[in-house]
Amino acid sequence: MSTPDWFGRLAERAQAGPSELSAVLALAGSGGDLVDFSGGFPDPELFDTRLLAELAAKAIETRPEVALQYASNRGLPGLREALRADFARTQSRTPADDELIVTSGGVDAMTLISKAMLDPGDGVLVEAPSYLGAFSVFRSHEGVCVSMRNDEHGLIPASLAEAAADARARGIEPKFAYVIPDFQNPSGLLLSAERRREIVDTARAEGLLVLEDVAYRDLAFDGSTLPSIYELGPDVTVQVGTFSKTFSPGTRLGWAAGPAQVIDAMAQAKTNTDQCAGALGQCMLESLMREGHYARALPHLQRAYGTRAQALMAALDEHVGSMATWTRPAGGFFTWLDVPGVDTKLLAPVAIDAGVAFVPGAPFFADPGAHSQLRLSFSRTPTGRMGEGARRLAAAIGFQRG
Amino acid sequence: MSTPDWFGRLAERAQAGPSELSAVLALAGSGGDLVDFSGGFPDPELFDTRLLAELAAKAIETRPEVALQYASNRGLPGLREALRADFARTQSRTPADDELIVTSGGVDAMTLISKAMLDPGDGVLVEAPSYLGAFSVFRSHEGVCVSMRNDEHGLIPASLAEAAADARARGIEPKFAYVIPDFQNPSGLLLSAERRREIVDTARAEGLLVLEDVAYRDLAFDGSTLPSIYELGPDVTVQVGTFSKTFSPGTRLGWAAGPAQVIDAMAQAKTNTDQCAGALGQCMLESLMREGHYARALPHLQRAYGTRAQALMAALDEHVGSMATWTRPAGGFFTWLDVPGVDTKLLAPVAIDAGVAFVPGAPFFADPGAHSQLRLSFSRTPTGRMGEGARRLAAAIGFQRG
């Protein structure tokens, strides 16, 4: 019995072929001698594995009826309480109980808000560049990504109203603007407090929701923070965060905080997605937060990633020099290079041959086109390998330029 | 600053209000003196918590670079291998490597196939009754549920072609038929091998995919199995399963096996949903399977749930008697009652007042209407509480009938 051709029976959205993100995730497991600057992965060696092992075992042995059971679609009450207490650490606004949901990571949070907000053909205003995985989520819910404008300081607030008008002129109803203010993915830039305020003012004037992604907010190398967009405009903001960078991606945990009506719709959507976030991970994170370990571990992570950023900057200065320009991040996992005259999509396979991996710039833009930019992630690369990575990258650029 | 009214900005699908499933999940945490026959929850007391605690700690301490990291969107290679080996335990067909994906539970698997197969307005043929959570997933992807027909032996195979024709006559393209052959949710019925074969024949003739949900397949009280629909027709079947009933819901793990083209589209969809299933749980399950614990623990679970089913049957015989009829399951978590002349949606609040909870029948049917049926789950109720639960149920029925 030969298998029928099911491809033609797939949904239209599924016939587009593999996403850029899945190629990146596939690279993660390739290993070998490759210097891998590709994925936005944390380094598990920086986690306190003995403590986490203890917390996992304790959760299972002492609270099996919770840790080994379904959780509420909004998350375990204990973790929600701990999360609300943790907001006070870096933000002046704490969500009320009905303004908070525990998600299965950041991408799940974006899935839930897409299910909650997007009718087919609705618009999402996005930075140019921005996180490619988010585009993919919005589009998989029949959303249309409409580009705002970014400059060397990050998102230009005035472009929010321009993009909204542009969308409406094209018959697209803009539902929310997706913004990553802290150590942005992919640019590494920190958006000024001034621009954050302007974004909130514009969102209020336009009746637009801001989807604020704070994935890297806790990872300023000096531990500092600026006011979040959520703090400045809790009436017009849904903040989504992930614990994949500071706790572990292995338990799929994140959160969303925002107006109760939106959070409520996200909670309903969760029952149709994966029902609830995993209770075992929720129990572990609850202990980690309640016992103070979570906040205490952050300076260690901040210093470690700061050291790696510094090492990569030095390596780029030495090997790449004037062949490219790049951002000098004060936090997070990424630097963003511009290699004038080079289409980085063509550079990528040349670089792999030379033994170095990165993500080319094009997929970080909602509009198609060739791009001379690329993203390097320094989060998983030992400082001692930065030089070799930069040297290989320079060789690939030289080869590509002929 | 007052929060704007965001409700009117929500997607159309999100303005429908809370799902029946979330009400059921909410009840789960209510506690008190309630005899709770509502949720399809396993009993964590039946899990080997000491072993699971050990496996969790071991995974974190010995394989942090795997357990505390992102996984591939198809699942960890080691778990996939263990899963394929486990297929041989009860099925004669083992999926090839590209025919298998690890999911974040059963509902996630249904989300992924919906994303892979359903364009807005496409049809899904469903049993009447069937699992309400699945309806909710299909509808949240703009799918239309079209009812097949069930009798006292389960799904009537001839109704598959009838429902497909009915859908096409209404301009609905049927994409797949959703079938739960083993100890069905909610009926508790086991579909005969004969009917399974007829379903495969019809699916082939109609060019339809069968989505086979085997959530309770491993939980026959006597450990027996019938050939799965996937075994009988791997060319036309995607089998989805969950480890929430036999391992733990606390780590959100399931799988899907089927034609490579469909699984591939599901894997792409996963990067837009939650990226990957949690690696910590995957490591635990891999050890559990490789070391033989998984298969060895099943007889214990089967006997325990069998004992509870028997206790509930005896309690219903004694207290409910001729007020209702019900199925006598040979596995799984559920029995399905018919209470002639009673609308069980109206009975439910009366029963809660009497101290007993169940899920009324109506939401298990895709077509609206009053129903005299209800589902009782015996999976979490101590045998010593069955009598009290049945007595309260009988009192509520008596009160409702006036």
What does the pLDDT read at residue B17?
A: 62
For A232, the token pair is 């400045």
What is the domain class of A13-47+296-401 according to CATH? alpha beta
Q: What is the pLDDT of residue B16?
A: 73
Closest partner CB to B271 (pick from A25, A39, A249): A25
CB contact under 8 A, B22 and A108: no
Cβ contacts of B6 within 8 Å, gap of 6 or more: A209, A259, A261, A262
B251 touches chain A (CB under 8 A): yes
β-sheet bridge partners, residue A176: A124, A209
The domains of chain A are located at: 13-47+296-401, 69-294
Q: B402 CB contacts (<8 Å, ≥6 apart)?
A: none
Element (H, E) at B285: helix B279-290
The CATH homologous superfamily of the domain defined by B7-47+298-401: Aspartate Aminotransferase, domain 1 (3.90.1150.10)
- B275 and chain A in contact, CB less than 8 A: yes
Residues of chain B with pLDDT under 50: 25, 28
pLDDT for the residue B219: 98
Which of the residues A48, A271, A287, A333 would you substitute to probe the B interface, choosing the one with the greatest number of B C-beta atoms within 10 Å?
A: A271
Residue corresponding to tokens 């809370």: B18
Predicted-complex ipTM score: 0.93
pLDDT value at residue B14: 85
* A6 → closest Cβ in B22, B68, B261: B261
User: Alpha-carbon distance B44 to B127, whole Å?
Assistant: 30
Q: Which residue of A has its CA nearest to B251?
A: A278
**In angstroms, what separates the C-alpha of B107 from chain A's closest C-alpha?**
5
B279-290 and B49-62 helices cross at what angle (nearest 10)? Answer: 120
**Topology annotation, domain A69-294:** Aspartate Aminotransferase; domain 2 (3.40.640)
Angle at A115 between CA A112 and CA A119, to 5 degrees: 155
Q: Do A280 and B7 touch (CB under 8 A)?
A: no
Q: How far is A198 from chain B (nearest CA, A)?
A: 16
Say whether residue B116 is in contact with chain A using an 8 A CB cutoff.
Answer: yes
Secondary structure (DSSP) of A251-300 = G--EEEE--HHHHHHHHHHHHTTTSS--HHHHHHHHHHHHTTHHHHHHHH
pLDDT in tens, B46-56: 999 999 999 99
The token duo for A265 is 């719709």
Residue of B252, B253, B301, B379 for testing the chain A interface, max A β-carbons within 10 Å: B252
What pLDDT is attached to residue A18?
A: 61
pLDDT, residue A19, reads 60
Interface of A with B in 287-326 (CB under 8 A): none
* Tokens read off for A144: 């249309």
Phi then psi dihedrals of residue B325, to 5 deg:
-120, 160
User: Do the beta carbons of residue A216 and residue A306 sit within 8 Å?
Assistant: no
- For residues B286 and B251, the answer to whether their CB atoms sit within 8 Å is no
Say if domain B63-294 classifies as CATH 3.40.640.10: yes
Cα–Cα distance between B349 and B346 in angstroms, integer?
6
What confidence score (pLDDT) does residue A31 get? 60
pLDDT in 10s for each residue of chain A, 402 residues: 567 888 888 998 888 766 655 565 465 455 679 999 998 899 999 999 999 999 999 999 999 999 999 999 999 999 999 999 999 888 999 999 999 999 999 999 999 999 999 999 999 999 999 999 999 999 999 999 999 999 999 999 999 999 999 999 999 999 999 999 999 999 999 999 999 999 999 999 999 999 999 999 999 999 999 999 999 999 999 999 999 999 999 999 999 999 999 999 999 999 888 899 999 999 999 999 999 999 999 999 999 999 999 999 999 999 999 999 999 999 999 999 999 999 999 999 999 999 999 999 999 999 988 899 999 999 999 999 999 999 999 999 999 998
Q: Which residues of B touch A119 (CB under 8 A)?
A: 11-13
Q: Are B116 and A14 in contact (CB under 8 A)?
A: yes
Mutate to test the interface with A, among B2, B5, B6 (most CBs of A within 10 A): B6
Q: Write the residue in B5, B68, B105 that is nearest to A47 by C-beta.
A: B68
Report yes or no: A4 at the B interface, CB cutoff 8 Å.
yes
CB pair distance less than 8 Å for A278 and B252: yes
Confidence (pLDDT) at A15: 81
